[in-house]
Structure 1
């Protein structure tokens, strides 16, 4: 009698486990549970046909002729969306107010396109080809963006130096600036307090300088649309904001931690975070 009960229990457990695996493997194909965490997909691309990819470009006054070979390499299914805050936007660009720098641009896209994101969105600044360091990151993202299909997120030039909890940024000189600019202070500050209030979870162990990155839509949707709306509102109050620098240090942690929180409740072992 004991062994019969034990056998039935084991069979029941195996059936539950098999059902969970089936849900994970069929989620994208069936149209249900499209936002399951990437750890449930075991690194596979399960969509119908090739994945969709969209390049989002944050533009001010830069020359963007370097985009043509990049788009050719991304393939014919790739879509280009240019958001411009400058005086002479490229043809077809969507015009945004000149606030919040690239952080505001990225948040605008995540918030307004939340329900219609491509499978993978690549985020770039239009200054990507301006310096040797940025050119290196550009090559890295165009060669490795597909990692976001299996890992959910890819950062070009990931910096393993953790942002300090007490970090502040009072002034800044960007590639489009003629001199140092005083930044409007974030609230709260320093960085550790801001991150705790707006992102939550553990402080980043690495960050993504210049925010050259690719993210899967499932990773974005592990946080509600309102999450990006709150940040967008904060980045809409001025042009030169300390909060934009705080957000640059938070992208990778925000997307990885969303995955970790979702996977913690699943019966599967989460994928390693930030290479650890």
Structure 2
């Protein structure tokens, strides 16, 4: 083989490498920033509210928009150390801007989303209150849950819900590291009959805006956990709490799939209020570790 042949092959190889690198750079393969792209997900629903207690599931397709760190952008979709999951309708989200890079917003309204970049944005149908959002997140991310997940509604936790919520999202993260997952009371919840709604919730139930559950709290507990309810359970209200990956994975994904079937076909099911009273049980809050 002559020197000309050797140099010719070397130049050809160098040309191919340069061409491949230019293609990858043009497509931003090495730029680790969020992008917005259309994605499709599946939500689980049951045919009618009367079938909720059986947890029968029907797959229905739903479109979602996500802004995420995808693997093709140089980030391999590794679980976060902590993630802020927000169930959003039309609330102002300025309060979560300092933690936007760890915030996963599920939008159930008609907005395009927050006016600033977030770690991830998905659009969901407006069903099931915040319980549906939280359960959906757990199901879809079961194998890649963050070490700590904070679950919040769209309102500032330090605002109208401050009686039941820690003042900031980061306060939830810091407390979770000490195994304190929600701001609760020392007393236990043990009213296993019907919820005695008051104020706007009672009015909502009376005018039909809220769909009445077919089961009492006690019956719902048994349908969900497969056992009779205990004398009392710890209580986290206002849909604000955190959970470790290990605690969420105490239950198999099938448990959460059954759970979401109770809240998947109405914008305001009473079962959403049932879940509000049972999150502490699901996330394994110990009585001494919940304040």
> Aligned residue for 2:89?
60
Indicate if the aligned counterparts of 1:172 and 1:180 stay in contact, CA closer than 8 A.
no
Mapped partners of 1:203, 1:181: distance in 2: 31
Give deviations 1:16-42, integer Å, cap 9, x for gaps: xxxxxxxxxxxxxxxxxxxxxxxxxxx
Q: TM-score, normalised by structure 1?
A: 0.64
Superposition deviation, residue 274 in structure 1: 1.4
Decide whether aligned partners of structure 1 residues 229 and 148 sit closer, same or farther in structure 2, where only a CA change above 3 A counts.
same
Indicate if the aligned counterparts of 1:204 and 1:253 stay in contact, CA closer than 8 A.
no
Mapped partners of 1:216, 1:99: distance in 2: 26
Secondary structure class of the residue paired with 2:131? helix
Superposition deviation, residue 54 in structure 1: 0.2
Task: Name segments (4+ residues, structure 1) moved above 6 Å.
Answer: none
Unaligned runs of at least 5 residues, structure 2: 1-79, 115-119
Aligned pairs, how many?
201
Mapped partners of 2:231, 2:248: distance in 1: 19
Superposition deviation, residue 184 in structure 1: 1.4
Q: Which 10-residue stretch deviates more, 233-242 or 153-162?
A: 153-162
Q: Which 10-residue stretch deviates more, 247-256 or 204-213?
A: 204-213
Decide whether aligned partners of structure 1 residues 62 and 140 sit closer, same or farther in structure 2, where only a CA change above 3 A counts.
closer
Secondary structure class of the residue paired with 1:146? helix
Mapped partners of 2:232, 2:131: distance in 1: 17
Secondary structure class of the residue paired with 2:264? coil
> Aligned residue for 1:102?
130
The match for 1:202 among 230, 234, 237 is 230
Richer in strand (by share)? 2
Quote the RMSD (CA, aligned, Å).
Answer: 3.0
> Aligned residue for 2:194?
167
> Aligned residue for 1:184?
211
The match for 1:156 among 179, 183, 189 is 183
Q: TM-score, normalised by structure 2?
A: 0.61
2:251 is the counterpart of 1:251: no
Secondary structure class of the residue paired with 1:106? helix
Decide whether aligned partners of structure 1 residues 86 and 171 sit closer, same or farther in structure 2, where only a CA change above 3 A counts.
farther
2:106 is the counterpart of 1:80: no
Mapped partners of 1:241, 1:171: distance in 2: 16
Richer in helix (by share)? 1
Superposition deviation, residue 218 in structure 1: 0.5
Decide whether aligned partners of structure 1 residues 138 and 112 sit closer, same or farther in structure 2, where only a CA change above 3 A counts.
same
Give deviations 1:121-170, integer Å, cap 9, x for gaps: 0011012358444387241653243332353x501344735140113367
Secondary structure class of the residue paired with 1:123? strand
Decide whether aligned partners of structure 1 residues 204 and 86 sit closer, same or farther in structure 2, where only a CA change above 3 A counts.
farther
Mapped partners of 2:133, 2:186: distance in 1: 22
Mapped partners of 2:172, 2:110: distance in 1: 33
Q: Which has the larger radius of gyration?
A: 2
Indicate if the aligned counterparts of 1:235 and 1:241 stay in contact, CA closer than 8 A.
yes
Mapped partners of 1:135, 1:232: distance in 2: 27
> Aligned residue for 1:121?
149
Secondary structure class of the residue paired with 1:215? strand
